[in-house]
Protein backbone atom coordinates (compact mmCIF):
# COMPACT_ATOMS: atom_id res chain seq x y z
CA UNK A 1 0.00 0.00 0.00
CA UNK A 2 2.41 2.67 -1.20
CA UNK A 3 -0.09 5.23 -2.47
CA UNK A 4 -3.14 6.28 -0.48
CA UNK A 5 -6.23 4.41 -1.59
CA UNK A 6 -8.94 6.73 -2.86
CA UNK A 7 -12.16 5.97 -4.68
CA UNK A 8 -14.72 8.43 -5.98
CA UNK A 9 -18.37 7.93 -6.77
CA UNK A 10 -20.77 10.56 -8.10
CA UNK A 11 -21.65 11.65 -4.53
CA UNK A 12 -18.82 10.42 -2.29
CA UNK A 13 -15.11 10.09 -1.67
CA UNK A 14 -13.94 6.78 -0.18
CA UNK A 15 -10.61 6.38 1.59
CA UNK A 16 -8.80 5.37 4.74
CA UNK A 17 -8.65 7.97 7.50
CA UNK A 18 -5.49 9.56 8.88
CA UNK A 19 -4.95 9.56 12.68
CA UNK A 20 -5.31 13.36 12.68
CA UNK A 21 -8.93 12.83 11.58
CA UNK A 22 -9.94 11.05 14.79
CA UNK A 23 -12.48 13.77 15.62
CA UNK A 24 -14.29 13.14 12.33
CA UNK A 25 -14.66 9.44 13.22
CA UNK A 26 -15.61 10.25 16.82
CA UNK A 27 -18.41 12.52 15.61
CA UNK A 28 -19.77 9.79 13.30
CA UNK A 29 -19.66 7.18 16.05
CA UNK A 30 -21.31 9.40 18.67
CA UNK A 31 -24.04 10.68 16.32
CA UNK A 32 -24.90 7.12 15.22
CA UNK A 33 -24.39 5.26 18.49
CA UNK A 34 -28.04 4.29 18.99
CA UNK A 35 -28.71 3.83 15.29
CA UNK A 36 -25.89 1.29 14.84
CA UNK A 37 -26.17 -0.40 18.25
CA UNK A 38 -28.51 -3.26 17.15
CA UNK A 39 -26.06 -4.35 14.42
CA UNK A 40 -22.71 -4.10 16.24
CA UNK A 41 -20.82 -5.85 19.02
CA UNK A 42 -20.97 -4.29 22.47
CA UNK A 43 -18.78 -1.20 22.54
CA UNK A 44 -16.76 0.26 25.41
CA UNK A 45 -16.92 3.98 26.13
CA UNK A 46 -13.42 4.30 24.62
CA UNK A 47 -14.94 3.50 21.21
CA UNK A 48 -16.64 6.93 21.36
CA UNK A 49 -13.60 8.98 22.37
CA UNK A 50 -11.12 10.85 20.18
CA UNK A 51 -8.26 8.74 21.57
CA UNK A 52 -10.14 5.51 20.92
CA UNK A 53 -10.84 6.66 17.36
CA UNK A 54 -7.20 7.64 16.82
CA UNK A 55 -6.05 4.20 18.00
CA UNK A 56 -8.64 2.51 15.75
CA UNK A 57 -7.46 4.53 12.75
CA UNK A 58 -3.82 3.66 13.46
CA UNK A 59 -4.70 -0.04 13.80
CA UNK A 60 -6.66 0.15 10.54
CA UNK A 61 -3.76 1.72 8.68
CA UNK A 62 -1.45 -1.01 9.99
CA UNK A 63 -3.94 -3.68 8.90
CA UNK A 64 -4.06 -2.15 5.41
CA UNK A 65 -0.25 -1.99 5.21
CA UNK A 66 -0.12 -5.68 6.22
CA UNK A 67 -2.91 -6.65 3.77
CA UNK A 68 -5.11 -7.93 6.63
CA UNK A 69 -8.00 -5.51 6.29
CA UNK A 70 -9.09 -2.20 4.81
CA UNK A 71 -11.31 0.02 7.01
CA UNK A 72 -12.73 2.62 4.66
CA UNK A 73 -14.85 5.68 5.31
CA UNK A 74 -17.36 7.08 2.86
CA UNK A 75 -17.16 10.87 2.98
CA UNK A 76 -19.11 13.79 1.61
CA UNK A 77 -17.29 15.22 -1.45
CA UNK A 78 -15.74 17.99 0.66
CA UNK A 79 -14.53 15.47 3.25
CA UNK A 80 -16.27 17.23 6.13
CA UNK A 81 -18.57 14.38 7.17
CA UNK A 82 -18.54 10.59 7.29
CA UNK A 83 -21.60 9.20 5.50
CA UNK A 84 -20.81 5.54 6.11
CA UNK A 85 -18.05 3.08 6.91
CA UNK A 86 -17.15 -0.29 5.49
CA UNK A 87 -14.32 -2.72 6.00
CA UNK A 88 -12.85 -5.38 3.79
CA UNK A 89 -11.72 -7.56 6.71
CA UNK A 90 -10.34 -11.00 7.51
CA UNK A 91 -8.23 -11.02 4.36
CA UNK A 92 -7.05 -14.47 3.32
CA UNK A 93 -4.67 -14.77 0.40
CA UNK A 94 -3.16 -17.88 -1.19
CA UNK A 95 -5.65 -20.24 -2.80
CA UNK A 96 -8.66 -18.46 -1.18
CA UNK A 97 -8.17 -14.75 -2.12
CA UNK A 98 -11.15 -13.58 -0.06
CA UNK A 99 -12.36 -11.13 2.54
CA UNK A 100 -15.43 -10.29 4.58
CA UNK A 101 -17.34 -7.07 3.99
CA UNK A 102 -18.88 -5.24 6.94
CA UNK A 103 -20.62 -1.87 6.71
CA UNK A 104 -22.79 0.75 8.38
CA UNK A 105 -24.37 4.04 7.34
CA UNK A 106 -25.30 7.16 9.27
CA UNK A 107 -28.99 7.38 10.08
CA UNK A 108 -29.40 10.70 8.26
CA UNK A 109 -27.97 9.25 5.03
CA UNK A 110 -30.12 6.12 4.85
CA UNK A 111 -32.50 5.59 1.96
CA UNK A 112 -30.60 7.74 -0.56
CA UNK A 113 -28.75 4.99 -2.41
CA UNK A 114 -25.39 6.11 -1.04
CA UNK A 115 -24.47 2.73 0.45
CA UNK A 116 -25.10 0.84 -2.80
CA UNK A 117 -23.09 3.51 -4.64
CA UNK A 118 -20.16 3.22 -2.22
CA UNK A 119 -20.19 -0.57 -1.96
CA UNK A 120 -20.36 -0.95 -5.73
CA UNK A 121 -17.10 1.02 -5.92
CA UNK A 122 -15.68 -1.04 -3.06
CA UNK A 123 -16.45 -4.33 -4.78
CA UNK A 124 -14.88 -3.15 -8.02
CA UNK A 125 -11.78 -2.16 -6.02
CA UNK A 126 -11.78 -5.52 -4.20
CA UNK A 127 -11.92 -7.48 -7.46
CA UNK A 128 -9.54 -5.09 -9.23
CA UNK A 129 -6.49 -3.69 -7.41
CA UNK A 130 -6.91 -5.91 -4.33
CA UNK A 131 -7.31 -8.99 -6.55
CA UNK A 132 -9.88 -10.82 -4.42
CA UNK A 133 -11.76 -13.76 -5.90
CA UNK A 134 -14.54 -13.74 -3.28
CA UNK A 135 -16.12 -11.08 -1.07
CA UNK A 136 -18.34 -12.44 1.69
CA UNK A 137 -20.97 -10.47 3.58
CA UNK A 138 -23.29 -11.78 6.26
CA UNK A 139 -26.39 -10.23 7.79
CA UNK A 140 -28.88 -10.94 10.53
CA UNK A 141 -32.18 -12.30 9.16
CA UNK A 142 -34.10 -9.43 10.80
CA UNK A 143 -32.01 -6.86 8.92
CA UNK A 144 -34.10 -6.73 5.74
CA UNK A 145 -32.40 -3.56 4.48
CA UNK A 146 -29.01 -5.22 4.55
CA UNK A 147 -30.34 -8.31 2.78
CA UNK A 148 -31.86 -6.19 0.01
CA UNK A 149 -28.67 -4.14 -0.34
CA UNK A 150 -26.51 -7.21 -0.77
CA UNK A 151 -28.93 -8.76 -3.27
CA UNK A 152 -28.91 -5.51 -5.27
CA UNK A 153 -25.10 -5.66 -5.35
CA UNK A 154 -25.18 -9.20 -6.71
CA UNK A 155 -24.37 -11.15 -3.55
CA UNK A 156 -25.86 -14.64 -3.49
CA UNK A 157 -27.05 -16.53 -0.43
CA UNK A 158 -24.75 -19.39 0.41
CA UNK A 159 -25.98 -20.52 3.79
CA UNK A 160 -27.33 -19.84 7.23
CA UNK A 161 -25.19 -19.82 10.36
CA UNK A 162 -26.84 -20.21 13.76
CA UNK A 163 -25.44 -18.13 16.61
CA UNK A 164 -22.73 -16.83 14.24
CA UNK A 165 -21.62 -13.49 15.74
CA UNK A 166 -22.04 -11.86 19.14
CA UNK A 167 -23.97 -8.68 18.39
CA UNK A 168 -25.02 -6.31 21.18
CA UNK A 169 -24.09 -9.04 23.65
CA UNK A 170 -26.15 -11.85 22.07
CA UNK A 171 -25.16 -14.63 19.68
CA UNK A 172 -27.10 -13.84 16.49
CA UNK A 173 -27.94 -16.04 13.49
CA UNK A 174 -26.68 -14.75 10.13
CA UNK A 175 -27.48 -15.30 6.48
CA UNK A 176 -24.21 -15.99 4.65
CA UNK A 177 -23.75 -14.38 1.24
CA UNK A 178 -20.89 -13.93 -1.20
CA UNK A 179 -20.05 -12.32 -4.48
CA UNK A 180 -17.47 -14.03 -6.67
CA UNK A 181 -15.38 -12.27 -9.28
CA UNK A 182 -16.77 -13.01 -12.74
CA UNK A 183 -13.42 -13.78 -14.39
CA UNK A 184 -10.03 -15.00 -13.21
Read off the pLDDT of residues 152-178 as tens digits, 9 standing for 90 and up. 999 999 999 999 999 999 999 999 999
Q: What is the mean pLDDT of the chain?
A: 96
CB 84 within 8 A of CB 114: yes
pLDDT interval class at 4 (50, 70, 90):
confident
Asked whether the predicted pLDDT for residue 3 surpasses 70, the reply is no
pLDDT computed for residue 131 by the predictor: 97
- Strand positions, DSSP E, 17-155: 70-75, 82-92, 98-105, 134-139
DSSP H or E run through 155:
none
Give the total residue count for the chain.
184
Helix H or strand E segment including 174: strand 170-180
Amino acid sequence: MSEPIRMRTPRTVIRLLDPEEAELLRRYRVENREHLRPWEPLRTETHYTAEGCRLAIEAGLEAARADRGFPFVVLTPDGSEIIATFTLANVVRGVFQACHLGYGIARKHEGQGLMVEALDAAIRYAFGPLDFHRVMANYMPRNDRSGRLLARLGFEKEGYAKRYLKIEGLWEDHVLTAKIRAQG
